[in-house]
Amino acid sequence: MATTVDIESGKRLKLSDIITDFDTLAELLVEDKFEGITKWEGVASTFSQDYGWTKKGVEKWLKGEEDLGWYTDGSKFVIMITTKYWSYDEFAIDLSEVEDILDREFLEKLGR
């Protein structure tokens, strides 16, 4: 798991602090634009196959920020999902593909 912190302010950054368009983020997840980077028995998962939620359901879940985390390594944006059943998956997308839904100030801090 990860906790993302703004090193200038010391504030814990939530998804709602950096995402400007949850509708598009939900669409990207539902349409499997994020790549499953967690492998179970050598097989990567897909969001739509493993979670099968509607776009509206995903958007509501993202805004509630339950059972999820996120991080960036500077080139990828990653959504982490944990469930009460101890399931864990990470889904990544290139930052350039989501720059339009990320907060400008956040992008500037990343040097983009």
d(CA 64, CA 107): 23
- Residue in the structure block whose two tokens are 């805004």: 63
**Is residue 4 very low, low, confident or very high in pLDDT (cuts 50, 70, 90)?**
confident
**Model confidence over 48-89: pLDDT tens digits?**
888 878 899 899 889 887 778 899 998 999 999 886 666 788
Q: Answer yes or no: are the C-beta atoms of 59 and 87 closer than 8 Å.
A: no
Phi, psi for residue 15 in degrees, rounded to 5: -55, -40
Q: Does the pLDDT at position 1 exceed 80?
A: no
> Which pLDDT score, from 0 to 100, does residue 50 have?
81
Q: What pTM value is reported for the model?
A: 0.86
Length of the chain: 112
